[in-house]
């Protein structure tokens, strides 16, 4: 008989006696695991013990796995069901797994866009007592997809541009908090739909390091890595016939240089202007807010001759619109979605309740617009897109069909038209099985 013991390490590490688990955690009777597992996890989830850790990852049975698309990786990676959620499991070396686990935890505490670390599991052995590689477990980011799963037959150039713009913004956000990535690529990123754009999330931090502040050389080196890797990824797509022929992989990869540098300059560079143009202070703040960033403070200095002002904003992390929508409604969505929903909420206030406080209008808007739209979506389509994306697309659809008709289309009719003409043909992005024949072209 093979005995199962486990050491469960919480944060901070808390060692337990072999054969015993923390209160409330019980070893599952099946499957049996040879040897003694060592689990490092911030949240001890007993469902981890239900997985077949005695089998090397590439041989895991199909009924254990979640049929989600995987990106390109130098490691064996699989998605599996754990309780009611989906996790990603990567076989790697112990040092690398622990480094990445702790790095992701630090990034999460800094509110960086990245996947959530769940556990590091070491001490794996097969039923013959042979050592198996340790694994890093992360939680699957719902509604996110690797870049190769965002298209079916061919990746269009405008979609590619939106992906690179999202990658540039992610890199800027990481650099602002002092994170040097070291392996920037589309393959190491997950993308979620964000209104008409994409939001990018770091999914691989094994080469990353956190510093108090990055030098310009570190930032430029990360940017050069991004350019080279993206060019290589696009060349692979070109060779496989999965990208439009008019796309130049090298020229397209250089777009991340322009997008990144433009964002970085807007967020960090000093700006000088004449004293008579003091309105440009507000203009700069509005531009930063439109990019999704809040301004913590403004540094204003006059030039030696007293004829000019020099402005340098101190920018805090992205999420300006997300935070405002969350404060008003409790809805936690992506930045572009938040901007679109806030625009509709502001228009709703101007039309229906111009004299009410913003907080009261927000409650009316949630009940009469957001909940009304999501409540009208048939149950079988609930997994197609996340609710905020559906509401955004319904509002856009309503605007287009109203313009075509020349009169305002009632919301009920707009929702029904959207469901029939758009939503029923979309892929189920909550649980996407990568089926190129069934997938819609982006």
Residue-wise pLDDT tens digits, 183-204: 999 999 999 888 888 899 999 9
420 located within any domain: yes
Q: In this structure, what DSSP letter does residue 276 have?
A: G
Phi and psi based region of residue 332 (left: phi greater than 0; alpha: psi -120 to 50; beta: remaining): beta
435 located within any domain: no
Q: Which residues does residue 180 pair with via DSSP β-bridges, in sequence order?
A: 209
By residue range, what is the domain housing residue 294?
A: 270-318
CA distances from 291 to 146, 169, 334 (A): 24, 9, 13
Reported pTM: 0.74
Same domain, 372 and 351: yes
Task: Identify whether the C-beta of residue 144 lies closer than 8 Å to the C-beta of residue 190.
Answer: yes
Same domain, 10 and 127: yes
> What average pLDDT is seen over the chain?
83
Same domain, 14 and 71: yes
Same domain, 65 and 94: yes
Q: Which two tokens stand for residue 215?
A: 């030098």
List alpha helices for 63-150, DSSP H: 94-109
Same domain, 234 and 344: no
179 located within any domain: yes
Q: Which residues make Cβ contacts (< 8 Å) with residue 367, sequence separation at least 6?
A: none
Give the CATH number for residue 50: 3.30.200
Residue 18 has pLDDT above 70, yes or no: no
Phi, psi of 276 (to 5 degrees): -75, -5
Same domain, 301 and 252: no
434 located within any domain: no
Q: In this structure, what DSSP letter does residue 277 have?
A: G
Number of folded domains in the chain? 4
In terms of Cβ atoms closer than 10 Å to its own Cβ (0-12, 13-18, 19+), residue 265 is: exposed
Same domain, 59 and 76: yes
Same domain, 387 and 291: no
Same domain, 328 and 312: no
Same domain, 107 and 195: no
The more confident residue out of 310 and 379 is 379
Task: Give 47-105 pLDDT, tens digit per residue.
Answer: 888 899 999 999 999 888 887 766 566 789 999 988 778 899 999 999 999 999 999 99
Task: Give 360-373 pLDDT, tens digit per residue.
Answer: 999 999 999 999 99
Q: Which two tokens stand for residue 58?
A: 């590439």
Q: For position 96, what pLDDT does the model report? A: 95
438 located within any domain: no
440 located within any domain: no
End-to-end CA distance of the chain: 54
């Amino acid at each position: 008989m093979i005995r199962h013991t486990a050491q469960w390490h919480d944060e901070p590490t808390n060692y337990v006696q072999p054969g015993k688990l923390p209160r409330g955690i019980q070893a599952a009777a099946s499957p049996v695991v040879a040897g003694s597992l060592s689990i490092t996890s911030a949240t001890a989830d007993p469902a981890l013990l239900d997985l077949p850790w005695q089998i090397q990852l590439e041989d895991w049975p199909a009924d254990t796995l979640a049929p989600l698309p995987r990106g390109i990786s130098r490691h064996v990676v699989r998605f599996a069901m754990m309780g009611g959620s989906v996790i990603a499991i990567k076989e790697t070396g112990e040092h690398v797994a622990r480094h990445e686990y702790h790095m992701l935890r630090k990034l999460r505490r800094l509110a960086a866009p990245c996947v959530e670390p769940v556990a590091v599991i070491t001490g794996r052995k097969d039923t013959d007592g042979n050592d198996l590689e340790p694994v890093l477990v992360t939680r699957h980011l719902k509604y996110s997809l690797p870049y190769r799963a965002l298209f079916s037959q061919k990746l269009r150039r405008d979609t590619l541009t939106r992906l690179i713009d999202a990658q540039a913004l992610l890199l800027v956000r990481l650099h602002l908090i002092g994170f040097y990535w070291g392996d920037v690529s589309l393959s190491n990123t997950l993308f979620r739909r964000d209104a008409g754009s994409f939001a990018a999330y770091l999914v691989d931090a094994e080469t990353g390091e956190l510093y108090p502040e990055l030098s310009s050389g570190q930032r430029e080196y990360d940017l050069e890595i991004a350019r080279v890797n993206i060019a290589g990824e696009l060349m692979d797509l070109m060779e496989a016939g999965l990208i439009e022929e008019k796309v130049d992989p090298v020229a397209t990869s250089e777009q991340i240089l322009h997008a990144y540098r433009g964002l970085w300059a807007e967020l960090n560079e000093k700006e000088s202007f004449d004293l008579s143009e003091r309105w440009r202070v507000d203009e700069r703040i509005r531009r930063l807010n439109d990019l999704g960033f809040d301004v913590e403070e403004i540094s204003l200095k006059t030039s030696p001759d007293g004829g000019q002002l020099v402005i340098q904003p101190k920018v805090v992390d992205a999420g300006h619109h997300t935070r405002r929508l969350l404060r008003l409604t409790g809805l936690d969505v992506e930045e572009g979605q938040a901007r679109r929903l806030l625009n509709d909420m502001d228009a709703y206030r101007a039309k229906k309740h111009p004299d009410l406080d913003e907080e009261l209008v927000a409650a009316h808007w949630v009940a009469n617009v957001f909940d009304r739209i999501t409540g009208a979506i048939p149950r079988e389509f609930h997994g197609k897109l996340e609710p905020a994306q559906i509401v955004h697309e319904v509002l856009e659809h309503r605007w287009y069909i109203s313009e075509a008709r020349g009169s305002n289309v009632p919301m009920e009719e707009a929702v029904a038209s959207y469901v029939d003409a758009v939503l029923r043909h979309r892929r189920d992005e909550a649980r996407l099985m990568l089926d190129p024949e069934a997938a819609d072209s982006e």
